[in-house]
Structure 1
Amino acid sequence: MSLAHNHHHDAHGDLTKKAAIASVSMALFLLALKIFAAAETGSVALLGSLADTAFDVLASLLTLFSVRYAAMPADEDHRFGHGKAEALSALLQVILVTVSAILIAWRAIVRFGDQAPTDHPEYGIGVSIIAIITTLGLLAYQRYVVLKTGSVAIQADHVHYQSDLLLNVAVIIAIVLDTMLNVRGADPLFGLAIAAWLLWGAYRAAGLALDQLLDREWPEEKRQRFIEVALRHPELRGIHDMRTRSSGVHDFCQFHVWVDPNMTVEAAHQIMDEVEQALMDEFPGVEVLIHPDPEGHKDEMGYLPSETIEHHDHPHD
């Protein structure tokens, strides 16, 4: 593995760790505020937001551990690295969010039979406004880290805090309806809506994690850009049997290429190095494995062969 690849790996690892630490710090701060506010107001919507924040603390700690582990370099027992620890962490977060949603829904249903008004609404509203402001800052930072690294664990955490933003807005609306407009039942109704939103967020996060654990192919647009960069080299006659996957913040791609059948091994090796470098320049951190074939040759390996993409300057007869 090249020094440039290692530097890219370390830089991404540092970013994901900083994002995880920021997430843990903010979750602990909001947890303390919401414990106080929930105890003073008795609001189910606020209690739901508190439960979600408590699970966020656990989830964020889990994320911190997973991104630190995933950032470890490949070793003798894990030669593809430790990136899938992020996907496992995301799945565990999904379980935590699902449990949280079920508990919130249950508490809201129980509250439908209790028409007592919310106490000290100003506490709930004030805490929710503070939570909205701090969550917006964290979301912006997480979005930056996800764009830079593609971290599925930070993305799952990002989904949590997107839901938190809506949760806090819902808490304010529920308290206003319940205490100022005297709309009884608004608080537990919003509690149920919050639970439903959490389940939807868990479903989306689970999809991202399973895609990595099951080695889903890259998005088609990314695959096509990759192929275009590779085929810029004039000596490549075509690409086939291309397979891609992601593991945490690491991308892997392997494919076969057609070259002149009369080319020497040394010349083919030089061309493969040049293609790899061009791909790594365009897709930093990707690990590339290229197998050269004489033009026209195609292996049948027992899996569904991919379409051959030929170089326009070298049409295959």
Structure 2
Amino acid sequence: MAITDKTVAIATGSLAVGIGVLALKTLAWWMTGSVALYSDALESIVNVVTAIVALIAVRLAQRPADAALPYGYHKAEYFSAVVVGVMIIVAAILILREAFYGFLEPSMPDAPLQGLAISFFATVINVVWAQVLIRHGRKARSPAIEADGKHLMTDVVSTIGVLIGLGLVYLTGFAQLDSVLAALVALNILWSGWGVIRESVGGLMDVAVTPDTQKLIRAVIANNADGAIEAHDIRTRQAGKMTFIDFHLVVPGAMSVDEAHSICDDIEGKLREAVADVQITIHVEPENKAKHAGIVVL
């Protein structure tokens, strides 16, 4: 299965997993009436919504470039991740509201052991699926899939805290601790939402590739530009899984167009071997344009 097809399949599977986990956590809340488990179930609703958004974004990002968007639809995944971040923050605000009212009118949860067992089972599912999402998201360079996986891991951390706390509620009889736990879950979710939005905005602002990738790109250019004088003004940007590279290549003024084009072909071929899903633009200049900076080839 091609990696793009696998990405769509995983995004679809994420929606199915999200619905299943939501059903389990809703059942746990219904059985106990716990505000903390209610907050956990509410976060699962966000997981389902974000899975839908991620699926739409992944399918859209795979559309080929056209006249309207000649550089492609790759940034659609960053918009998806921003929507995910906003949804997370909205959920956190709703949870804080419920925690506040629950603290004013505390009540002990019903059937706590059964509710904890169901919630624990749902958490195990989330742990496994989050790892699948994060690993594939990084491999496929899919911001939407990776953001979905990171949010699920935040959900896992929140749920573990809720389970431990509800155990303490059951042992101590301190009913207001239930609402305190819900508020802590909400704060954790707020932090997660901020992180997702911050990373996505970087992508929308044409963030450069990582320092290691930049170093690799410069090395490939230096080692495969025989016949040129220098390469300067090297710029990179990341858009979803696509990497864009552009730079100026200075060649001797007497060099023919055919020879200069051959050097560009060699560089582009090696860059495509070193960096997956890359678009390259090279501007050829005569030697009087040399800046004696950047990558000196000769």
Shorter-normalised TM range? over 0.9
Structure 1 residue ranges (4+ consecutive) displaced by more than 4 angstroms after TM superposition? none
Pair 1:131 & 2:122 matched:
yes
Pair 1:290 & 2:290 matched:
no
* Secondary structure class of the residue paired with 1:116: coil
Pair 1:58 & 2:49 matched:
yes
Contact 1:101–1:195, Cα closer than 8 Å, also in 2: yes
Q: How many residues align?
A: 297
- Tell me which amino acid in the other structure corresponds to 1:310: I
Q: 1:207 aligns with which of 174, 192, 198?
A: 198
Contact 1:124–1:172, Cα closer than 8 Å, also in 2: no
- Alignment-derived partner of residue 6 in structure 1: none
- Alignment-derived partner of residue 4 in structure 1: none
Distance across 2 between alignment mates of 1:17 and 1:97: 23
- Tell me which amino acid in the other structure corresponds to 1:190: L
Deviation at 1:245, TM superposition (A): 1.5
- Alignment-derived partner of residue 5 in structure 1: none
Matches within 5 A, 1:161-176: 161-176=152-167
Structure 1: 5+ residue stretches without partners: 1-9, 300-306
Describe the shift of the 1:81–1:242 C-alpha distance in structure 2 as closer, same or farther (beyond 3 A).
Answer: same
Distance across 2 between alignment mates of 1:310 and 1:195: 50
- Alignment-derived partner of residue 239 in structure 2: 247
- Alignment-derived partner of residue 82 in structure 1: 73
In the superposition, the TM-score normalised over structure 2's length comes to 0.94
- Alignment-derived partner of residue 275 in structure 1: 267
Contact 2:75–2:204, Cα closer than 8 Å, also in 1: yes
Contact 1:230–1:275, Cα closer than 8 Å, also in 2: yes
Pair 1:145 & 2:136 matched:
yes
Deviation at 1:298, TM superposition (A): 5.2
Deviation at 1:264, TM superposition (A): 0.9
Deviation at 1:58, TM superposition (A): 1.0
- Alignment-derived partner of residue 122 in structure 1: 113
Contact 2:137–2:146, Cα closer than 8 Å, also in 1: yes
- Alignment-derived partner of residue 304 in structure 1: none
- Alignment-derived partner of residue 309 in structure 1: 294
Pair 1:47 & 2:38 matched:
yes
Deviation at 1:208, TM superposition (A): 1.6
Distance across 1 between alignment mates of 2:134 and 2:288: 45
Distance across 1 between alignment mates of 2:22 and 2:174: 28
Distance across 2 between alignment mates of 1:95 and 1:297: 48
Deviation at 1:19, TM superposition (A): 2.1
* Secondary structure class of the residue paired with 1:106: helix
* Secondary structure class of the residue paired with 1:253: strand
Alignment identity in percent?
28
Pair 1:197 & 2:188 matched:
yes
Distance across 1 between alignment mates of 2:244 and 2:295: 22
Contact 2:78–2:143, Cα closer than 8 Å, also in 1: yes
Contact 2:230–2:290, Cα closer than 8 Å, also in 1: no
* Secondary structure class of the residue paired with 1:157: helix
Q: 1:257 aligns with which of 246, 249, 271?
A: 249
* Secondary structure class of the residue paired with 1:274: helix
Q: 2:100 aligns with which of 78, 85, 109?
A: 109
* Secondary structure class of the residue paired with 1:112: helix
Contact 1:13–1:68, Cα closer than 8 Å, also in 2: no
Contact 1:124–1:171, Cα closer than 8 Å, also in 2: no
Cα root mean square deviation, aligned: 1.8
C-alpha offsets along residues 20-70 of structure 1, whole Å, 9 cap, x if unaligned?
A: 112111100011111111111111111111001011111101110110011
- Tell me which amino acid in the other structure corresponds to 1:111: G
Matches within 5 A, 1:6-25: 11-25=2-16
- Tell me which amino acid in the other structure corresponds to 1:74: A
Deviation at 1:259, TM superposition (A): 2.2
Deviation at 1:173, TM superposition (A): 0.9
Contact 1:239–1:256, Cα closer than 8 Å, also in 2: yes
Pair 1:32 & 2:23 matched:
yes
